[in-house]
Amino acid sequence: MPLSRFSRRHRKTWNDEKPEQEVFLEEHRVPPKPPHYYDRKKGRCRMCGLNIYKNDKINKRSTWHPHCADEYMMIYHPGETRKRIWQRDGGECAKCGKIQPRKSRFHALKWHVDHIKPLWEQKGKRFEDIDLNYWRENNLQTLCTKCHTEKTSEEATKRAKMKREWWKHLQPIKSIINKLIYFYKR
Protein backbone atom coordinates (compact mmCIF):
# COMPACT_ATOMS: atom_id res chain seq x y z
CA MET A 1 0.00 0.00 0.00
CA PRO A 2 1.13 3.56 -0.52
CA LEU A 3 2.76 4.21 2.81
CA SER A 4 5.27 6.82 3.83
CA ARG A 5 8.78 5.98 2.70
CA PHE A 6 10.09 6.78 6.16
CA SER A 7 7.73 4.67 8.18
CA ARG A 8 8.79 1.71 10.28
CA ARG A 9 6.57 -0.52 8.19
CA HIS A 10 8.33 0.58 5.01
CA ARG A 11 11.76 -0.19 6.44
CA LYS A 12 10.56 -3.54 7.69
CA THR A 13 9.42 -4.53 4.24
CA TRP A 14 12.13 -3.09 2.03
CA ASN A 15 15.15 -3.83 4.17
CA ASP A 16 16.61 -7.26 4.58
CA GLU A 17 14.03 -8.57 6.94
CA LYS A 18 12.64 -12.03 6.58
CA PRO A 19 8.96 -12.94 6.44
CA GLU A 20 7.36 -12.68 9.86
CA GLN A 21 5.19 -15.75 9.60
CA GLU A 22 5.40 -18.75 7.32
CA VAL A 23 2.39 -20.79 8.30
CA PHE A 24 -0.95 -19.50 9.48
CA LEU A 25 -1.12 -19.43 13.27
CA GLU A 26 -4.45 -18.67 14.73
CA GLU A 27 -3.18 -16.05 17.16
CA HIS A 28 -2.27 -13.76 14.30
CA ARG A 29 -5.73 -13.79 12.70
CA VAL A 30 -4.21 -12.79 9.35
CA PRO A 31 -2.66 -15.25 6.89
CA PRO A 32 1.06 -15.24 6.03
CA LYS A 33 2.00 -12.64 3.40
CA PRO A 34 2.14 -13.76 -0.24
CA PRO A 35 5.68 -14.68 -1.34
CA HIS A 36 5.72 -11.86 -3.90
CA TYR A 37 5.21 -9.41 -1.07
CA TYR A 38 8.94 -9.70 -0.34
CA ASP A 39 10.12 -9.57 -3.96
CA ARG A 40 10.74 -5.83 -3.96
CA LYS A 41 10.73 -5.65 -7.71
CA LYS A 42 9.46 -2.43 -9.20
CA GLY A 43 6.80 -3.00 -11.80
CA ARG A 44 5.63 -6.24 -10.27
CA CYS A 45 2.59 -6.63 -8.06
CA ARG A 46 3.35 -7.59 -4.48
CA MET A 47 0.06 -9.39 -4.07
CA CYS A 48 -0.31 -11.50 -7.23
CA GLY A 49 3.25 -11.38 -8.57
CA LEU A 50 2.24 -10.33 -12.10
CA ASN A 51 3.65 -7.40 -14.02
CA ILE A 52 1.88 -4.07 -13.79
CA TYR A 53 1.22 -2.49 -17.18
CA LYS A 54 0.47 1.08 -18.06
CA ASN A 55 -0.16 1.83 -21.74
CA ASP A 56 1.36 -1.55 -22.75
CA LYS A 57 4.58 -0.81 -20.84
CA ILE A 58 5.62 -2.14 -17.47
CA ASN A 59 4.94 0.55 -14.93
CA LYS A 60 8.21 0.72 -12.99
CA ARG A 61 6.82 3.22 -10.51
CA SER A 62 4.24 0.92 -9.10
CA THR A 63 4.29 -2.23 -6.99
CA TRP A 64 0.54 -2.82 -6.72
CA HIS A 65 -2.41 -3.42 -9.01
CA PRO A 66 -5.15 -1.16 -7.65
CA HIS A 67 -7.53 -4.09 -7.11
CA CYS A 68 -4.75 -6.16 -5.51
CA ALA A 69 -3.92 -3.33 -3.11
CA ASP A 70 -7.61 -3.21 -2.26
CA GLU A 71 -7.71 -6.90 -1.55
CA TYR A 72 -4.50 -6.72 0.45
CA MET A 73 -6.00 -4.07 2.73
CA MET A 74 -9.16 -6.11 3.19
CA ILE A 75 -7.26 -9.26 4.17
CA TYR A 76 -4.25 -7.97 6.11
CA HIS A 77 -5.49 -4.81 7.83
CA PRO A 78 -8.15 -5.63 10.42
CA GLY A 79 -8.99 -1.94 10.86
CA GLU A 80 -9.84 -1.66 7.17
CA THR A 81 -11.82 -4.92 7.29
CA ARG A 82 -13.90 -3.59 10.19
CA LYS A 83 -14.54 -0.34 8.36
CA ARG A 84 -15.83 -2.12 5.26
CA ILE A 85 -17.98 -4.59 7.18
CA TRP A 86 -19.47 -1.66 9.08
CA GLN A 87 -20.28 0.09 5.80
CA ARG A 88 -21.98 -3.07 4.56
CA ASP A 89 -23.93 -4.15 7.66
CA GLY A 90 -24.29 -0.91 9.62
CA GLY A 91 -23.74 -2.80 12.86
CA GLU A 92 -26.69 -5.15 12.50
CA CYS A 93 -26.02 -8.53 14.13
CA ALA A 94 -26.40 -11.34 11.59
CA LYS A 95 -28.00 -13.64 14.16
CA CYS A 96 -30.29 -11.64 16.42
CA GLY A 97 -30.64 -8.51 14.26
CA LYS A 98 -29.88 -6.04 17.02
CA ILE A 99 -28.06 -2.87 15.95
CA GLN A 100 -24.76 -2.33 17.71
CA PRO A 101 -23.10 1.07 18.14
CA ARG A 102 -20.03 1.63 15.98
CA LYS A 103 -17.81 2.28 18.97
CA SER A 104 -18.47 1.51 22.58
CA ARG A 105 -16.60 1.54 25.84
CA PHE A 106 -18.72 -1.33 27.10
CA HIS A 107 -17.66 -4.84 26.28
CA ALA A 108 -21.25 -6.05 26.00
CA LEU A 109 -21.98 -3.53 23.25
CA LYS A 110 -18.93 -4.25 21.10
CA TRP A 111 -19.53 -5.79 17.70
CA HIS A 112 -17.33 -8.48 16.18
CA VAL A 113 -16.24 -9.24 12.66
CA ASP A 114 -16.92 -12.96 12.62
CA HIS A 115 -15.54 -15.45 10.10
CA ILE A 116 -18.52 -17.62 9.10
CA LYS A 117 -16.27 -20.53 8.20
CA PRO A 118 -13.89 -20.47 11.16
CA LEU A 119 -10.24 -19.59 10.66
CA TRP A 120 -8.91 -22.57 12.59
CA GLU A 121 -9.70 -24.71 9.58
CA GLN A 122 -6.74 -23.00 7.89
CA LYS A 123 -4.35 -23.43 10.79
CA GLY A 124 -0.80 -24.59 10.05
CA LYS A 125 -1.09 -23.99 6.30
CA ARG A 126 1.44 -22.18 4.14
CA PHE A 127 0.37 -19.35 1.88
CA GLU A 128 0.22 -21.63 -1.18
CA ASP A 129 -2.28 -23.95 0.52
CA ILE A 130 -4.37 -21.30 2.19
CA ASP A 131 -7.87 -20.49 0.97
CA LEU A 132 -8.01 -16.70 1.01
CA ASN A 133 -11.79 -16.85 0.69
CA TYR A 134 -11.83 -17.29 4.46
CA TRP A 135 -10.78 -13.64 4.76
CA ARG A 136 -12.93 -12.24 1.97
CA GLU A 137 -16.12 -10.30 2.47
CA ASN A 138 -18.42 -13.25 1.73
CA ASN A 139 -17.09 -15.10 4.75
CA LEU A 140 -17.46 -12.16 7.13
CA GLN A 141 -20.45 -11.13 9.20
CA THR A 142 -21.30 -8.74 12.01
CA LEU A 143 -22.10 -10.37 15.34
CA CYS A 144 -22.95 -8.85 18.71
CA THR A 145 -20.90 -9.95 21.70
CA LYS A 146 -23.57 -12.37 22.91
CA CYS A 147 -24.03 -14.16 19.57
CA HIS A 148 -20.28 -14.21 19.01
CA THR A 149 -19.61 -15.86 22.37
CA GLU A 150 -22.28 -18.43 21.61
CA LYS A 151 -20.79 -19.25 18.22
CA THR A 152 -17.26 -19.47 19.61
CA SER A 153 -18.24 -21.86 22.39
CA GLU A 154 -20.25 -24.02 19.99
CA GLU A 155 -17.19 -24.29 17.78
CA ALA A 156 -14.95 -25.10 20.74
CA THR A 157 -17.22 -28.03 21.62
CA LYS A 158 -17.12 -29.24 18.04
CA ARG A 159 -13.36 -29.01 17.97
CA ALA A 160 -12.94 -30.87 21.24
CA LYS A 161 -15.15 -33.65 19.88
CA MET A 162 -13.08 -33.85 16.69
CA LYS A 163 -9.90 -34.13 18.73
CA ARG A 164 -11.34 -36.92 20.86
CA GLU A 165 -12.34 -38.82 17.73
CA TRP A 166 -8.89 -38.42 16.30
CA TRP A 167 -7.38 -39.98 19.41
CA LYS A 168 -9.82 -42.85 19.20
CA HIS A 169 -8.46 -43.66 15.74
CA LEU A 170 -4.99 -43.78 17.19
CA GLN A 171 -5.99 -46.16 19.98
CA PRO A 172 -5.15 -49.43 18.12
CA ILE A 173 -1.71 -48.11 17.15
CA LYS A 174 -1.07 -47.09 20.73
CA SER A 175 -1.91 -50.54 22.03
CA ILE A 176 0.46 -52.14 19.51
CA ILE A 177 3.26 -49.84 20.62
CA ASN A 178 2.55 -50.68 24.26
CA LYS A 179 2.76 -54.40 23.46
CA LEU A 180 6.07 -53.92 21.66
CA ILE A 181 7.48 -52.01 24.59
CA TYR A 182 6.28 -54.79 26.88
CA PHE A 183 8.05 -57.49 24.83
CA TYR A 184 11.18 -55.41 24.49
CA LYS A 185 11.43 -54.98 28.22
CA ARG A 186 11.11 -58.71 28.80
State the residues that interact with Zn ion by CB under 5 A: 45, 47-48, 65, 68, 93, 95-96, 144, 147
Least distance in angstroms from the C-beta of 141 to Zn ion = 10
Least distance in angstroms from the C-beta of 46 to Zn ion = 8
Written as one letter, the residue type at 93 is C
Q: How far is it, in rounded angstroms, from Cα 115 to Cα 141?
A: 7
User: To 10 degrees, what angle do helices 78-89 and 66-76 make?
Assistant: 90
Written as one letter, the residue type at 12 is K
Least distance in angstroms from the C-beta of 19 to Zn ion = 19
Judged by beta carbon, residue 23 or residue 48, the one nearer Zn ion is 48
Judged by beta carbon, residue 33 or residue 65, the one nearer Zn ion is 65
Query: H or E segment at 163?
Result: helix 145-185
Least distance in angstroms from the C-beta of 50 to Zn ion = 6
Q: How far is it, in rounded angstroms, from Cα 26 to Cα 121?
A: 10
